[in-house]
Structure 1
Amino acid sequence: MTWRAPEITRTPEPYVGDERTMLEGWLDYHRQTLLLKCAGLTAEQLRTPSVEPSGLTLLGLVRHLAEVEAWWFRENFAGQQVDYPYFTPDNPDADHDVSTADAEADLATFHREVALARAATAGRSLDETFTEVGPKRRTFNLRWAYVHMIEEYARHNGHADLIRERIDGVTGE
């Protein structure tokens, strides 16, 4: 039997709530939207590039966003030591190299990173600040990180929508 990305029932975005509820709700909505774009596809389809010359794939987006979750919420905000599954100093774009990737394992990594990101931010104030790791050393608050992640997912979900349409014609939502 051929493995396929699991189907997903997406939780609707929040319509009413306090700031934390809205930020977490919209971020979860976009996380689930990415998974919705992958649902039902085989590993081979998830590794299918969009259009030449781009090598962008749905699986590459899943891998990329798993690492972005770890970067902003765990390493930068929570100050945790993160062992990235794909990134290396010699190959910083390894998240997009899916030629030999294990799609099932990569989706599990995505789910794990989302859970770890939620744990890193649970009960923490949106006003809590942190200084970015690396040479820029910019200071942000947790609120900014949520807004940035919503933007990051929204942008990549647009890419995912086009890639999915190319694979099998599925569009929308």
Structure 2
Amino acid sequence: MTSDSRIGPPYFGSERETLRAFLDYHRATLAMKCEGLTDEELRQQSMPPSTLSLLGLVRHMAEVERAWFRRVFEDNDVPLVWSDEIDFQAAYDASASTREEAFTAWEAEVANSRRIEREAESLDQAGYQPRWGEEVSLRMVMVHVLLEYARHNGHADFLREGVDGTVGA
């Protein structure tokens, strides 16, 4: 991995600034875990029977961003990136994927999510989560997506170590 260029969250800040900073920190962590690897290395799977790979995680997080920001706050019917049936497992199959494909989709969804969050008047803004048939707040969405990144960045730590032995933040 290259040097750590992530910007850490503030020690003091509003709730929104803090949530935004932690979310961006975890987004940057996933990208950092993939730095310097070839497509083949990014597709390298973990221990059988799992087919989890770093590239699969990037694809999955593109789906998470889309499902929790775009589908909740803009278009409840927009399909996922890699599945028309709202199958989140489909994104994990990165066997024919490339860094360019996965990162282009993920970066586009992150940019859209950031725009939605910045345009929202408050963390109390309501959106409709079609999978639950319920309204949810922007606050809840940001926390949920942050937790998704935190969990999957733990997986990324192990995956990266398995690819080339790199460990750490």
Same fold (TM over 0.5): yes
Identical amino acids, percent of aligned pairs: 43
Structure 1 residues 6 and 111, CA, compared in 2 at 3 Å: closer, same or farther? farther
Rounded to whole Å, the distance in 2 between the matches of 1:65 and 1:92 is: 10
Structure 2, gaps ≥5 residues long: none
Gaps of 5+ in 1: none
Distance in 2 between residues matched to 1:140 and 1:25, nearest whole Å? 21
Question: What's 2:92 paired with?
Answer: 96
Separation in 1, partners of 2:130, 2:149? 21
TM-score, structure 2 normalization: 0.91
Contact 2:80–2:86 (CA<8 Å) still a contact in 1?
no
The equivalent of 1:133 in structure 2 is: 130
Per the normalisation by structure 1, the TM-score is: 0.89
The structural deviation recorded for 1:80 is 5.8
Query: In structure 1, how many angstroms separate the alpha carbons of the residues matched to 2:2 and 2:66?
Result: 23
Distance 2:36 2:64 in 1: 24
User: How far apart in 2 are the matches of 1:157 and 1:148?
Assistant: 14
Specify which of 129, 133, 142 is matched with residue 146 of structure 1.
142
Q: Higher helix fraction: Structure 1 or Structure 2?
A: 2
Partner of 2:18: 22
CA RMSD of aligned residues (A): 2.0
1:3-53: per-residue Cα shift (whole Å, max 9, x none)?
Answer: xx9987212222211111000000000000000110101000000001111
Aligned residues: 168
Residue aligned with 2:82, SS: coil
The one-character-per-residue Cα deviations of 1:53-107 (angstroms, maximum 9, x if unpaired) are 1000000000000111011111112336534321232865221111111221211
- The answer as to whether partners of 1:7 and 1:40 remain within 8 angstroms in 2 is no
AA aligned opposite 2:124: D
Check whether the contact 1:45–1:167 (CA below 8 A) recurs between aligned residues: yes
